[in-house]
Structure 1
Amino acid sequence: MLIFMTISLVAGFLLSNQSPINADLSRLVKSPFIAGTISFIIGTLFLAILAMSMTGRLFPNGNFIQAQPAWIWLGGLLGSIYLTSNILLFPKIGAIQTTILPIMGQITMGTVTDWLGWFGSDKVAMTAWRLVGILILIVGVLVAVALPSLTNRDIRRFDANVARQDGPTRVIGWQIWAVIVGVLAAMQQAINGHLGTLLHSTSQAAFISFFIGTLLIAAVALMIDKRVPTTRELKTTQPWNWLGGILGGSFLFVTVVAVPQIGAGLTIMMGLIGQIIGSILIQQFGWWRSIKQQMVPAQALGMVLMLIGVGLIKMA
Structure 2
Amino acid sequence: MFYLLGLLGGFAVSNQSHINERLGGALKSPFRAAFLSFSLGVVFLGVLAFIQNPHFLGDIVALTKTGQPWRIYSAGIFSMLYQTSNILLFKNVGAVKTVVLPTLGQVVMSMVIQTFGWVGAETVALTAIKVAGVILVIIGVLVAVVLSARLENKTGSSQGSSVFWHVWGIFTGMFASFQQAITGHLGHLLGAPVDGAFVSFVGALILLTILVAFKERPFFNRDGMKAAPWWSFLGGIPGSLFVFFIGIVVPVLGPGMGAILGLMGMLIGTIIVQQFGWYQSVKKRVNVMQIIGIVIMVVGVVMIQVL
Report the TM range for the smaller structure's normalisation.
0.7 to 0.9
Which ranges in structure 2 are unaligned for 5 or more consecutive residues?
Answer: none
When the two structures are superposed, what TM-score results if normalisation uses the length of structure 1? 0.81
Letter in 1 for 2:43: L
Match of 1:294, SS state, is: coil
- Relative to 1, partners in 2 of residues 1:40 and 1:56: Cα closer, same or farther, differing over 3 Å? same
Residues 216-262 of structure 1: per-residue CA shift (max 9 Å, x gap): 11221222212133555333333322221001111223444456666
Please, which moves more after superposition, 77-86 or 205-214? 77-86
Please, which moves more after superposition, 192-201 or 224-233? 224-233
Residues 30-74 of structure 1: per-residue CA shift (max 9 Å, x gap): 322211111111111110111111111343354421321111001
Match of 1:227, SS state, is: coil
Letter in 1 for 2:151: T
Q: Distance in 1 between matches of 2:211 and 2:260?
A: 30
Please, which moves more after superposition, 213-222 or 7-16? 7-16
Is 1:204 aligned to 2:203, yes or no? no
Q: Distance in 2 between matches of 1:70 and 1:261?
A: 29
Letter in 2 for 1:223: F
Corresponding residue for residue 63 of structure 2:
64
Q: Distance in 1 between matches of 2:54 and 2:250?
A: 23
Is 1:213 aligned to 2:215, yes or no? no
Does the CA-based 8 Å contact 2:13-2:239 persist in structure 1?
yes
Q: Kindly report which structure 2 residues correspond to 1:64-83, keeping only aligned pairs within 5 A, or say none.
A: 64-67=63-66, 68-83=68-83
When the two structures are superposed, what TM-score results if normalisation uses the length of structure 2? 0.83
Q: Distance in 2 between matches of 1:176 and 1:302?
A: 18
- Relative to 1, partners in 2 of residues 1:259 and 1:149: Cα closer, same or farther, differing over 3 Å? farther
Corresponding residue for residue 274 of structure 1:
265
Is 1:240 aligned to 2:231, yes or no? yes
Does the CA-based 8 Å contact 1:114-1:122 persist in structure 2?
yes
**Percent identity among equivalent residues?**
36
Q: Distance in 2 between matches of 1:300 and 1:179?
A: 19
Corresponding residue for residue 168 of structure 1:
none
Corresponding residue for residue 23 of structure 1:
21
Q: Distance in 2 between matches of 1:47 and 1:213?
A: 13
Please, which moves more after superposition, 46-55 or 295-304? 295-304
Corresponding residue for residue 139 of structure 1:
139
Does the CA-based 8 Å contact 1:43-1:210 persist in structure 2?
yes
Q: How many residues align?
A: 301
Q: Distance in 2 between matches of 1:208 and 1:110?
A: 21
The alpha-carbon deviation at position 268 of structure 1 amounts to 4.5
Does the CA-based 8 Å contact 1:186-1:264 persist in structure 2?
no
- Relative to 1, partners in 2 of residues 1:77 and 1:263: Cα closer, same or farther, differing over 3 Å? farther
- Relative to 1, partners in 2 of residues 1:149 and 1:218: Cα closer, same or farther, differing over 3 Å? farther
